Amino acid sequence: MKVILKQDVENVGRKGDVVNVSRGYSRNYLVPKKLALEVTSSNMKMIAIEQQVLKKKIEQERLSYQDLITKLNQVTLSFTRKAGEKDHIFGSVSASDIKEELDKLGFDIDKKKLVLDEPLKRLGNYAVPIKVYHDDKAEIKVAVVKEEEDAASATEEKKAEK
């Protein structure tokens, strides 16, 4: 059965697409949730008009997000953590930590948009992608550096332990 999607549906299609789905899926899920319409001539005309408006809106959004992408590509965050042998840090740098630093810089990025498979657990420089708009991604640079211990305080701590 052919339907016109009124909203983006994961693994089916995007808003305005004409897709072929099973009758049951259409009748029991897509149509009752107002995610799709049955293909008719009047619905096709209505969707064509909506698509023209949507294309203009998408283009404007894309232009505004391009600005954000260029700003994010210039961002470099630095995290200072205590580290042990072989550059393993105590704890980690997670998506939440990165989001907090971005918030401090004035970027309002959702934590779920950070493409960080697992927290950073080693010293080094990383490139962390951020999903900004559909397929458009920005990439921020994250540096995890070793916390320098104060030599005098380290000596005092050793004396105190004895």
Q: Find out whether 21 and 4 touch, Cβ atoms under 8 Å.
A: no
> Domain locations in the chain?
2-61, 69-148
Does position 154 have pLDDT exceeding 70, yes or no? no
Nearest by Cα to 130 from 91, 99, 94? 99
CA 134 vs CA 38, 58, 62, 65, 102: distances in Å: 26, 10, 9, 10, 20
The CATH architecture assigned to 2-61 reads 3-Layer(aba) Sandwich (3.40)
Q: What is the pLDDT of residue 152?
A: 44
The CATH architecture assigned to 69-148 reads Roll (3.10)
Per-residue pLDDT averaged across 37-51, rounded?
A: 81
Q: Find out whether 53 and 45 touch, Cβ atoms under 8 Å.
A: no
Instruction: State pLDDT tens for residues 123-142.
Output: 889 998 988 877 788 899 99
Q: What is the pLDDT of residue 156?
A: 52
Q: How far apart are CA 146 and CA 141, in angstroms?
A: 17
This prediction has a pTM of 0.59
Q: What is the pLDDT of residue 149?
A: 67
